[in-house]
Amino acid sequence: MINDKNSQKIVDIIQNWARKHSLFVLAYGTGCGAIEIPPTMTSRYDAERFGIRGAATPRQADVLLITGYLTTKTLKRVIRVYEQMQDPKYVIGFGSCTINGGMYYDSYNTIKVLDKYLPVDVYINGCMPRPESVISGFVKLQQLIADGKGNGAKEYKENLESYRANQKKIIPNWVMPDYNW
Amino acid sequence: MELTLNILGAIATIVLAFIVGMSYGGIVRKITARIHNRMGPPWYQNFIDAFKLIGKTTAINHGIMQHFGPAFVMVSSIVSLMFIPILNNGGWFTNLNFDGDLIFLIYIMVFGPLGMALGAGQTGNPNSAIGVTRGLSQMVGFEIPWVMALVALMIQFDTTSVTGLMEAQHETGRWMMFTSPFAFIAAVLAMLGMFRYSPFDIVGAPTELASGPVSENGGKYLFTMMSSGSIFAFVKLTLYVDLFMGGADNLIILVLKTFALYMVPVLYGIVSPRYRTEQSIKFFWGWPTFFGFIAILYAVFV
């Protein structure tokens, strides 16, 4: 019965509702944007009322938050963290630096477009984005999940070769364990 | 027929413990948020989290013990739940009571953390290993006043069964928190460590140890840990109510008494920062152990 298409749809709706209201966030403080996370989580803006909660390890997290610029050195660690996370997982690109490099557009040492290396579900614009816009980004992600469109992880698995090729261009000495989800 | 009824009673007990424990967790999150002057999540947030965690894939494999660790915790919680009288008159809840079950409970209540220690050890995560050592050290700390309080009760009322102690309270008509006050103080101080709220949250320590022993457990494992933790919280609270507060005649009184008792570690925790491991052990080997001694002397000589 559970393989029936319509029942699967109902299960998906219920599960997506739960996923939407319970986002465990791994805030990977790569850049200066990380300073906007504490005000978002604490009394004034209180992200916990949306069910958003900090997770300490990638194993427990649902959302990977890339806060700001990503140096080529950090990229390797971020990829490893992302691949340790369990499905369903989402990525939020935080700040202008993840969209087009921002003020580091001509830096030799940072990556410019995050989407080439990791599947980003939601971008939050700004340098830096205020807590209001961070929360609005999370609400956008919640809408995507409720509509069943937060499929970044699926995309990543399907296009793994092209993502890997891009990643290996940046990281010359690729010594990483293989994950087979 | 009787077997079926017993199994149904056991299932009902587990469901009750699960629902009450998880709701308490949610209410605690709400209370914490209100004290921080926040809105906070809804009280049923823990149920949503649990439901989401079941739906996550769990493709982590570090070996057999890693899979068994959360199961050990769950088994320990449920077995100790089966030996706790939920209500005074028993009702349809299971109670596998026998003479000396209080001593058995002292053992079985540390079985879960030990199983978890084995499971966390195999993940190979250094944070897990540090969390486990801290947890076991802290357990050595709070188990001493806790066992001393129980031994004082056993000496004073000359019985080693939980139901025996409850009957003794009914005969005298006074709660044990009044007839043996020092044991109660020692036990409540030990409870602060048992619930692992601040300042004794040295095991989890999210910002320092990345949630400690559970740092490699996501998805279904985390759900198992979370639900067994909730059941275990209910077990401990009910045991305290049974031993020191005269048990409960119906579920409403049980919920009121356990909730009032639960607020002791919670409210103390919200306003406290975190201790270091040695500070925590020093705390438990100080005043709580002293009150435990006094309780035993009181039980023997008064």
- State percent of chain A over pLDDT 90: 15
Show the tokens assigned to A145: 């999940």
Residue B33: closest C-alpha in chain A: A43
A157: confidence class by pLDDT, cuts 50, 70, 90: confident
Q: Cβ distance B29 to B46 under 8 Å?
A: yes
| Candidate from A42, A54, A181 with C-beta closest to B59 | A181
> Looking at the 3D structure of chain B, how many domains does it have?
1
Q: From CA A134, how far away is CA A140, in angstroms rounded?
A: 10
Residues of chain A in contact with residue B44, where contact means CB-CB under 8 angstroms, are: none
The residue ranking higher by pLDDT, B200 or B94, is B200
B52–A19: do the CB atoms touch at under 8 Å? yes
What is the DSSP secondary structure assignment for residue B272, as one 8-state letter?
Answer: -
- For this complex, say whether ipTM is above 0.95: no
B20: confidence class by pLDDT, cuts 50, 70, 90: very high
* CA distances for B8 relative to B17, B51, B153, B224, B255, angstroms: 14, 24, 33, 21, 22
- In angstroms, what separates the C-alpha of B72 from chain A's closest C-alpha? 20
The residues with which A66 forms a beta bridge, in sequence order, are A28, A93
What is the DSSP secondary structure assignment for residue A54, as one 8-state letter?
Answer: E
Q: From CA B99, how far away is CA B160, in angstroms rounded?
A: 6
Residues of chain A in contact with residue B225, where contact means CB-CB under 8 angstroms, are: none
Nearest to B81 by CA among B58, B101, B57, B53: B101
Domain containing residue B165 = 2-301
Q: Cβ distance B83 to B107 under 8 Å?
A: no
Nearest to A141 by CA among A25, A10, A8, A57: A25
In this prediction, residue B88 carries a pLDDT of 79
Q: How much helix, strand and coil, in percent to the nearest 5, is found in chain B?
A: 75, 0, 25
Residue B43: closest C-alpha in chain A: A49
Instruction: State the average pLDDT over residues B202-227.
Output: 83
Show the tokens assigned to B5: 């009824």
- In angstroms, what separates the C-alpha of A168 from chain B's closest C-alpha? 25
* Average pLDDT value for chain B: 87
- In angstroms, what separates the C-alpha of B38 from chain A's closest C-alpha? 5
The residue ranking higher by pLDDT, A48 or A4, is A48
Q: What is the CATH class of A25-170?
A: alpha beta
B215–A21: do the CB atoms touch at under 8 Å? no
- In angstroms, what separates the C-alpha of B109 from chain A's closest C-alpha? 26
Instruction: State the average pLDDT over residues A25-47.
Output: 86
